[in-house]
Amino acid sequence: MDHPIRSAPVDAGGLRDGTQGGAGKGAPTRLRAGIRRWIRIAISEMRRTRRVIVTPDTRPTGEPPIFLVGVHRSGTTLLRLIVDSHSRIACPPESFFVAPLEGVLRDEKAREGLEAMGFETRQVLDKLRETASWFFEMYAATRGKARWADKTPSYVDCLDFLDALFGPDARYVMIYRNGLDVACSSPIGAIREVVPHVEACGGNVHAGAARYWAHQCEKMLAFQAAHPGQCHELRYEALASDPEPEVRKLFAFLGEDFEPEVLRFHEKPHDQWIGLEDTKAARSKGFKPAIGGYRNQPADVVEAMRAQCGPMLERLGYAEAMAPGGTPDPADPGT
What's the average model confidence in pLDDT over 79-87? 97
Residue 156 has pLDDT above 80, yes or no: yes
Cβ atoms of residues 64 and 167 within 8 Å: no
pLDDT digits (tens, 9 = 90+) for 280-312: 555 677 789 999 999 999 999 999 999 999 999
pLDDT band at 1 (very low <50, low <70, confident <90, very high): very low
Residue 48 domain-assigned (yes or no): no
213, 210, 124: which is closest to 161 by C-alpha?
Answer: 124
Number of structural domains in the chain: 1
| Residue scoring higher pLDDT (14 or 186) | 186
Q: Rounded CA gap, 185 and 72, in Å?
A: 9
Contact 74, 180 (CB under 8 A): no
Judge whether residue 132 has pLDDT over 90: yes
% of the chain at pLDDT higher than 70: 76
Question: Can you tell me the distance from the alpha carbon of 286 to that of 240, in angstroms, rounded to the nearest whole number?
Answer: 9
Residue 85 maps to which CATH number? 3.40.50.300
> What is the per-residue burial (b if ≥16 Cβ within 10 Å, else e) of 11-39?
eeeebeeebeeeeeebeebeeeeeeeeee
Flag whether 206 is in a domain: yes
pTM above 0.85, yes or no: no
pLDDT value, residue 41: 59
**Cα(300)–Cα(51) distance, integer angstroms:** 47
More confident site: 10 or 27: 27
Domain annotation covers residue 285: yes
CA distance 215 to 211: 6
Read off the pLDDT band of 188 (50, 70, 90).
Answer: confident
Predicted confidence band of residue 328 (pLDDT cuts 50, 70, 90): very low
Tell whether 8 is covered by a domain: no
Instruction: Name the nearest CA neighbour of 160 among 119, 105, 200, 205.
Output: 105
Residue 289 lies in a domain: yes
Residue 57 reports pLDDT greater than 60: no
Rg of the chain over CA atoms, in angstroms?
22
Residue 57 lies in a domain: no
Q: Is residue 220 part of a domain?
A: yes
Q: Which residues of 113-135 are buried (b: 16+ CB within 10 A; e: fewer)?
A: ebeeeeeeeeebbeebbeebbee
Per DSSP, the three-state class of 150 is strand
Q: Which of 59-63, 72-76, 164-168, 290-294 has the lowest mean pLDDT?
A: 59-63
**Domain range for residue 92?**
64-322
Strand order in the sheet with 147-151: 89-90, 147-151, 66-69, 171-176, 231-235
Q: In this structure, is residue 150 part of a structural domain?
A: yes
26: amino acid identity, one letter = G
